[in-house]
């Protein structure tokens, strides 16, 4: 891997605009064979933080 944790990679995906939803991020992380994707993204705080970044990126 590239040394990034699953959480770090999730935020990168949210901030770069390569994913449009948290579900897209989850799917991409699984494709990349990241560790414990469902467990890492299960919490309401992480989901809110990712959604905020996704929304900010989509807003331009």
Residue 34 token pair: 């990241």
3-49 pLDDT, tens digit per residue, is: 899 999 999 999 998 899 999 999 999 999 999 999 999 999 999 99
Q: Which residue has the tokens 């891997």?
A: 1
pLDDT at 35: 95
Instruction: Give the Å distances, CA to CA, from 56 to 16, 18, 20, 26, 60.
Output: 10, 13, 11, 19, 6
Q: What is the pTM of this model?
A: 0.91
């Amino acid at each position: 891997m590239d040394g990034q944790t699953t959480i770090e990679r999730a935020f990168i995906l949210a901030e770069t605009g390569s994913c449009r939803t948290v579900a897209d991020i989850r799917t991409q992380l699984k494709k990349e064979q990241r560790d414990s994707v469902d467990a890492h993204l299960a919490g309401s705080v992480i989901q809110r933080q990712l959604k905020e970044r996704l929304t900010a990126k989509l807003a331009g």
